[in-house]
Amino acid sequence: MRGRMMQTPLLISSLIEHAGRVYGTQEIVSRTVEGPIHRYTWLDARNRSIQLAQALGAHGITAGDRIGTLGWNTYRHLELYYGISGMGAVCHTLNPRLHPTELVYIVNHAEDRILFVDLTFVPLAEAVADKLPGVERYVVLTDSENMPETALSNAIAYEDFIAGSDGDYEWPVLDEGDAAALCYTSGTTGHPKGALYTHRSTVLHAFGVAMPDVFNMRPSTCVLPIVPLFHACSWGIAYSAPLAGAKIVFPGPRYDPEALTDLMTAESVNYCAGVPSVFIPLVQYWRDHGNKPPSLAMAVMGGTAPPPSLCAALEEDFGIEFRHAWGMTEMSPLGTVNTLMPEHRALPLEQRRIFQTKQGRPPFGVEVRIVDDDGNRLPHDGIVFGELQVRGPWVIQSYFKDDESRLTEDGWFPTGDVATIDSQCYIHITDRSKDLIKSGGEWISSIDVENTAMGHDDIVMAAVIGIPDERWDERPILIAVAAPDSNPTKESVLEHLAGTLAKWQLPDEVYFVDELPMGATGKVQKTKLREQYAAE
């Protein structure tokens, strides 16, 4: 027997409509690329998204067309999220930190018809424009006053692009399974691959993200997404904020600790989210200047495993609740969050800190399991590790323009991460499967060694890679960045590691460098390190 309830499609346009109607006066504040702070409301955002949708229609954009964005976290980029997807086209966020040749590949593969480009990225777009024959028009995210001279063909300022629209427009009622947004993974092997989200997956993910034990979004939330709108849809924050009525504060192009701190303080930000490499200098800045933003109460960190020392600094020195999260572009991207239960809060501090290195539990909507090399399920005992597989309504099935299903025969997505799962379903990522080091038949977790190394007072960043070894197959080496004005030695680092690691897990070499090669999404590029150090 069929139920008798409405079949209302879950659409991205309904998120912004809801925010405009219910939280119409709640603010969105942006540091603009032009400089000044811009401030308006969810109702304004809704109205201007409508204007944008209308303008796209007038340009001949139809359902399913891909529209690229090269933008910082600002209100205009937010409008692109809603105007593009809301009218039925696909909002394709591009990561400007990628190598230009990779960008060219991605824009052409996606067949983007229009590129929306922030002022900062106009030179980047100009440099590659002749290799992008399919792009019909460039819209620079500014007004005519700030519009630069540009070699881009058919360029127009965003404010002029939307100015002709009168707002007399109804969002189309789309199929919730239609494509809404597109994000390419950085593709450590082969070409980048596109994760093509649906309206349904995006709205369900927004519900999941807003939950109390996840990002805890509500009208009293004032969130500063440090994670860019161009990285995995800012972890869903731009969709869950209108759903929950949160205030958003966008940092624009400025990610330096001073700019972030000033903005957080001025706007009473109480929650922020980003990758560890942004928080490390931020925490140092607060220490040096004694100016942690007073309202900041919670920080979600993910993308890569944060060192326990960072978690300790946030919680003990600054009273900020630390939530460790894990996910991937293929999962919209949220997979798990480590929110402590009362029994974990009651643990002795040292044990609690160890517990917080776990990546957490899945919210409703994500299921997790681990399997061995033959695909057999492994126990959730917190000890045995295997490949982590996931499933759920916001997990990918196949990549854009690639009909091959990426799922196992029984319908799970293999993440390529290796993990344990404990009896309460907290996962602990041991490694990316390709980063695990196999030495003398035993596995060494590069993340464990890195985390321990970063517990050394004089080490701020560390990466561990395996290099080929005749006798042991592979042996770990450590490449570290020393804290300013410090002079750690190989011996002191090894001595520190020996405090908690077994002898065979200790790196054979410790190299000190000024900086580690970072990829476009804030992760250490271990492939580069392997190339460089394999020969040493």
Catalytic residues: 185, 330, 438, 443
Whole-Å CA distances, 129 to 54, 122, 134, 419: 26, 10, 10, 42
Residue 134 near residue 106, CB atoms below 8 Å: no
Report the site for ligand ADP in 228-247 (rule: CB under 6 A): 232
Question: Strands 271-274 and 298-301, how do they pair?
Answer: parallel
CB of 297 to ligand ADP, least distance (A): 20
CB of 509 to ligand ADP, least distance (A): 24
Q: Is the dihedral of CA 104, 87, 78, 394 positive or negative?
A: negative
Residue 318, CB-side half-sphere exposure with 13 Å CA sphere: 29
Q: Helix, strand, coil % (nearest 5) of the chain? A: 35, 25, 40
Whichever of 299 and 325 has its CB closer to ligand ADP, that residue is 325
CB of 524 to ligand ADP, least distance (A): 11
CB of 110 to ligand ADP, least distance (A): 15
- Residue 481, interface with ligand ADP (CB under 6 A)? no
- The C-alpha atoms of residue 332 and residue 182 are separated, in whole angstroms, by 10
Question: Strands 321-327 and 437-439, how do they pair?
Answer: unpaired
Torsion of Cα atoms, 358 then 363 then 369 then 370, to 10°: -20
Residue 478 near residue 463, CB atoms below 8 Å: yes
- Residue 94, interface with ligand ADP (CB under 6 A)? no
Report the site for ligand ADP in 387-416 (rule: CB under 6 A): 415-416
Q: Which stretch binds ligand ADP (CB under 6 A): 149-157, 319-327, 365-373, 471-479?
A: 319-327
CB of 361 to ligand ADP, least distance (A): 13
Whichever of 65 and 102 has its CB closer to ligand ADP, that residue is 102
Q: Which stretch binds ligand ADP (CB under 6 A): 122-130, 147-155, 320-328, 498-506?
A: 320-328
Whichever of 284 and 525 has its CB closer to ligand ADP, that residue is 525
Whole-Å CA distances, 157 to 136, 308, 362, 491: 15, 45, 42, 58
Binding mask 276-315 for ligand ADP (x = CB under 6 A): --------------------------xxxx----------
- Residue 432, interface with ligand ADP (CB under 6 A)? yes
Whichever of 56 and 282 has its CB closer to ligand ADP, that residue is 282
Q: Which of 251, 521, 524, 526 binds ligand ADP (CB under 6 A)?
A: 521
- Residue 225, interface with ligand ADP (CB under 6 A)? no
- Residue 446, interface with ligand ADP (CB under 6 A)? no
Whole-Å CA distances, 265 to 253, 269, 318, 322: 18, 7, 14, 19
CB of 100 to ligand ADP, least distance (A): 17
- DSSP conformational letter for 315: I
448: which 2 tokens? 């464990």
Q: Which stretch binds ligand ADP (CB under 6 A): 73-81, 324-332, 341-349, 461-469?
A: 324-332
Report the site for ligand ADP in 334-373 (rule: CB under 6 A): 359
Q: Is the dihedral of CA 160, 166, 167, 169 positive or negative?
A: negative
Q: Which of 198, 329, 339, 356 binds ligand ADP (CB under 6 A)?
A: 329
Q: Which stretch binds ligand ADP (CB under 6 A): 18-26, 327-335, 348-356, 367-375?
A: 327-335
Size of the site for ligand ADP (CB under 6 A): 21
Residues for the chain: how many in total?
536
Residue ranges of the alpha helices (H) in 211-363? 237-244, 257-266, 276-289, 308-312, 318, 342-345, 349-355
Q: Which stretch binds ligand ADP (CB under 6 A): 254-262, 323-331, 466-474, 503-511?
A: 323-331
Closest CA to 154 of 133, 138, 143, 142: 138
CB of 16 to ligand ADP, least distance (A): 25
Residues 6+ away with beta carbon under 8 Å from 442:
504
- Residue 523 CA to its chain's centroid (Å): 11
CB of 194 to ligand ADP, least distance (A): 11
Whichever of 70 and 232 has its CB closer to ligand ADP, that residue is 232
Whichever of 30 and 332 has its CB closer to ligand ADP, that residue is 332
CB of 328 to ligand ADP, least distance (A): 3
CB of 235 to ligand ADP, least distance (A): 9
Binding mask 178-217 for ligand ADP (x = CB under 6 A): -------xx-------------------------------
- Residue 328, interface with ligand ADP (CB under 6 A)? yes
Whichever of 98 and 263 has its CB closer to ligand ADP, that residue is 98
- Residue 326, interface with ligand ADP (CB under 6 A)? yes
Cis amide leading into 123 (omega within 30): no
Whichever of 221 and 415 has its CB closer to ligand ADP, that residue is 415
Please name the helix (run of DSSP H) or strand (run of DSSP E) that holds residue 529, with its range, or none.
helix 526-534
- The C-alpha atoms of residue 244 and residue 206 are separated, in whole angstroms, by 9
With helix as H, strand as E and coil as C, how does 396-454 read?
CCCCCCCCCCCCCCCCCEEEEEEEEECCCCCEEEEEECCCCEEECCEEECHHHHHHHHC
- Residue 417, interface with ligand ADP (CB under 6 A)? yes
Whichever of 187 and 294 has its CB closer to ligand ADP, that residue is 187
Whichever of 31 and 324 has its CB closer to ligand ADP, that residue is 324
- The C-alpha atoms of residue 427 and residue 416 are separated, in whole angstroms, by 14
Residues that bind ligand ADP (CB under 6 A): 185-186, 232, 302-305, 324-326, 328-329, 333, 359, 415-417, 429, 432, 521, 523
